[in-house]
Amino acid sequence: MVGVKKTIRFFIMLIAFSTAFLGWSNEETGHHSKEDNGAIDDPVEVNEYIKHHLKDSHYFTFYSSGDHHYGFALPVIIWTSNGLKTFMASEFHHDENGEVIVEKGDVKLAMIHGKIYELEEGASEVEFNEEHHPHNAHTVLDFSITKSVVGMLLAAILLFLGFGALAKGYKKGPIPTGFARVLEPLVIYVRDEIARPNIGEKKYKRFMPYLLTVFFFIWILNLVGLTPLGFNVTGQIAVTFCLALFTFFITQFVGNKDYWKHIFWMPGVPWPMKIILAPIEVLGMFTKPFSLMIRLFANMTAGHFVVMSLIALMILLKNQFGAVGSTSISLILALFISVIEILVAFLQAFIFTMLSALFIGAAVEEHDHH
């Protein structure tokens, strides 16, 4: 256990320091005019940079300095009016203002604020309306390998490696060795503190694969999001929507007759109340996964926003406190919030898994009606 504690402490300090260092090293990044050499030095530019960081991207950027970006482009896979088109995002030359037009056969494409648009037939450039929305182009079905997809693939690989090591450890003996000893207490925790109490002793094993997968998947994504890799996967509403959708479908498919009876014809209450309660219960079927989706999305997005806002203080307050003073304040605050974010990373994975088990347990619970 001493070795496990040291390993956990090492990773906590590494992630916390890396988060603060990332923000410090990127204090002069973003898309700005050449006159200020790409520096972010006012609240509006800081806010725009933070929003840009939280969005998904077709580029994997390790580091940016002014107008120079160091990383690699990701594959673009889209369905247009002329069929499937595949190419690398580098063909857009990292331009998100729609100025670079990529021609693929009879189709002209432009990337505007991270989204790929198809120009109307006969158009040679993107035209914007007063709200700065393109009026001569429409969005396409985008199946691209974005930065968030890379993060999910990385989390999946780590899951396979980790649980593969755990399985091999159990083959050697009842007590796993090496890194598998770090995973074993967490697996037992999910089983004994989440699955058994909420689903029941008889049926919890059936749902353990899903609960373990969703717990470790969210937890790993949350931790990776605190590293200099800059992932914000659980801060994407589409990702949290899909995770909540899995819980929703599992709950509905495994629901027994008592579950559906309590929804459409509540036992033990007068029939007029049954008619009133039925639509409320049906609405509750959808509000439960909706709360899962919003809770995870909002908490992780807010955490990243707060960390980057605190780091931005070194630029906004350098005139009041000086470069050294503002940097020290920002680093201290960012480290403090980063440590809290590590706790939140685990807490959000726990809450999502706990509520999923609670919803599933309510669907499979058998009631005794007298």
**Predicted local confidence at residue 34, as pLDDT:** 39
**Is residue 358 a part of any domain in this protein?**
yes
**Predicted local confidence at residue 29, as pLDDT:** 35
**Is residue 254 a part of any domain in this protein?**
yes
In angstroms, what CA-CA distances link 282 with 89, 233, 336, 360, 365? Answer: 44, 30, 43, 16, 18
Shared-domain flag, residues 359 and 267: yes
**Is residue 341 a part of any domain in this protein?**
yes
Q: What's the domain range around 203? A: 148-364
Residue 127: both structure tokens together: 């035209």
**Predicted local confidence at residue 30, as pLDDT:** 38
Shared-domain flag, residues 261 and 275: yes
The last residue of one of the domains, among 111, 144, 177, is 144
Count of structural domains within the chain:
2
**Is residue 13 a part of any domain in this protein?**
no
Residue 340: both structure tokens together: 């809290």
**Predicted local confidence at residue 7, as pLDDT:** 46
Shared-domain flag, residues 181 and 314: yes
**Is residue 94 a part of any domain in this protein?**
yes
Shared-domain flag, residues 166 and 263: yes
The last residue of one of the domains, among 96, 114, 144, is 144
131: phi then psi, degrees, rounded to nearest 5: -85, 10
* Sign of CA pseudo-dihedral 9, 10, 14, 17: positive
**Is residue 15 a part of any domain in this protein?**
no
Task: Summarize pLDDT for 8-31 with one digit per residue, the tens.
Answer: 454 444 444 444 333 333 333 334
**Predicted local confidence at residue 354, as pLDDT:** 94
Q: What is the DSSP letter of 72?
A: E
Q: What is the DSSP letter of 120?
A: P
The last residue of one of the domains, among 94, 119, 144, is 144
Shared-domain flag, residues 205 and 343: yes
Per run of 10 residues, the mean pLDDT along the chain (length 370 residues) is 47 43 36 46 62 76 65 87 87 72 85 84 79 80 89 92 84 74 88 92 91 94 82 87 94 88 81 84 89 87 73 64 61 74 87 94 74
Shared-domain flag, residues 229 and 311: yes
Could you give the count of Cα atoms lying within 13 Å of 324 in the half-sphere of its Cβ? Answer: 0
Interatomic CA distance for residues 313 and 362, integer angstroms: 47
Task: Summarize pLDDT for 128-155 with one digit per residue, the tens.
Answer: 877 777 877 888 898 998 888 999 999 9
Shared-domain flag, residues 98 and 152: no
Residue 205: both structure tokens together: 């094993």
**Is residue 21 a part of any domain in this protein?**
no
Shared-domain flag, residues 171 and 212: yes
Give the residue among 110, 115, 108 at the shortest CA–CA distance from 92. Answer: 110
Interatomic CA distance for residues 11 and 251, integer angstroms: 35
Give the residue among 209, 236, 238 at the shortest CA–CA distance from 222. Answer: 236
Shared-domain flag, residues 300 and 332: yes
**Is residue 284 a part of any domain in this protein?**
yes
Give the residue among 344, 308, 325, 305 at the shortest CA–CA distance from 21. Answer: 308
